[in-house]
Amino acid sequence: MTDTTKDEQQLHDEAEALRKETAEGAPELAEHDQLAALEKQLEDANSKALYAAAEAQNTRRRLEAELQQATSYAAAQFARDMLAIKDHLDRALAAVTDELREDKTASQFLAGIESTSRELDSVFQRHGVSRIEAKGQPLDPHRHQAMIEIPSSDAEPGTVVDEMQAGYMMKDRLLRPALVGVAKKPD
């Protein structure tokens, strides 16, 4: 055998020995790869579980807020309907003359109407329904509905000078805008 052949044989033997060592160590590498893969799956599952828990908590909070809001404003349509009754009572009381107020029979009847109006105001107050201030206020399109412009030298343009129909809020929600007349510069 020549030196080159010996070197080749020696290299071949060393390579074979390395292959055997790698083959014997391969199960460890395979187990390590499996363990890493399982850890990655566990991490992904934990991440998904945390995401699902957060999503469930957000859904619960949103539903609780919607329930609270629905409970708070459940009577809104009923309150709107009652506003028509309040308007009729206010118009009836505004139409009463001093002469009628002095009449004994009429004054007792008027006292009943005034009492009913006060009781209705009390019920509105207990349920968070309040009248919108309009006269003397700047026009607020979120609370007032301008019906006419009235030439006025006494008030700033854009200021409410007349209220045709009262507006009402239920807590922070508009039930009905106030129908108003707004000042403008005289011609």
Q: What is the CATH number of the domain that holds 135?
A: 2.30.22.10
Question: Average pLDDT, stretch 120-127?
Answer: 93
Residue with tokens 């030439």: 151
Domain end residue (candidates: 37, 72, 107): 72
Domain end residue (candidates: 72, 101, 118): 72
* Residues 157, 95 within the same domain: yes
Which DSSP letter does residue 132 get?
P
Which domain, by its residues, includes 23?
1-72
* Residues 91, 159 within the same domain: yes
* Residues 108, 89 within the same domain: yes
Asked whether residue 124 carries a pLDDT value surpassing 70, the answer given is yes
* Residues 67, 81 within the same domain: no
Q: Rounded CA gap, 91 and 165, in Å?
A: 10
Total count of domains within the chain: 2
If one compares 58 and 69, the residue with the highest pLDDT of the two is 58
Asked whether residue 88 carries a pLDDT value surpassing 70, the answer given is yes
The answer to whether 132 and 144 have CB atoms below 8 angstroms apart is yes
Q: What is the pLDDT of residue 69?
A: 82
> Among 24-38, 58-72, 153-167, which stretch is predicted with the lowest mean pLDDT?
24-38
Q: Rounded CA gap, 46 and 168, in Å?
A: 52
* Residues 80, 169 within the same domain: yes
Q: What is the pLDDT of residue 68?
A: 86
| CB proximity list for 92: less than 8 A, separation 6 or greater | 113
Domain end residue (candidates: 14, 44, 72): 72
Question: Average pLDDT, stretch 49-71?
Answer: 92
Q: What is the pLDDT of residue 73?
A: 78
* Residues 67, 102 within the same domain: no
* Residues 5, 85 within the same domain: no
* Residues 117, 162 within the same domain: yes
162 strand-pairing partners: 181
Per-residue pLDDT band for 24 (boundaries 50, 70, 90) equals low
Q: What is the pLDDT of residue 32?
A: 78
Asked whether residue 186 carries a pLDDT value surpassing 80, the answer given is yes
What global pTM score does this model have? 0.62
Question: Average pLDDT, stretch 143-168?
Answer: 93
* Residues 80, 148 within the same domain: yes
As given in the structure block, the two tokens for residue 99 are 């002469």
* Residues 82, 173 within the same domain: yes
* Residues 80, 62 within the same domain: no
Give me the chain's average pLDDT, please.
87
* Residues 26, 84 within the same domain: no
Asked whether residue 53 carries a pLDDT value surpassing 90, the answer given is yes
Q: Rounded CA gap, 159 and 124, in Å?
A: 27
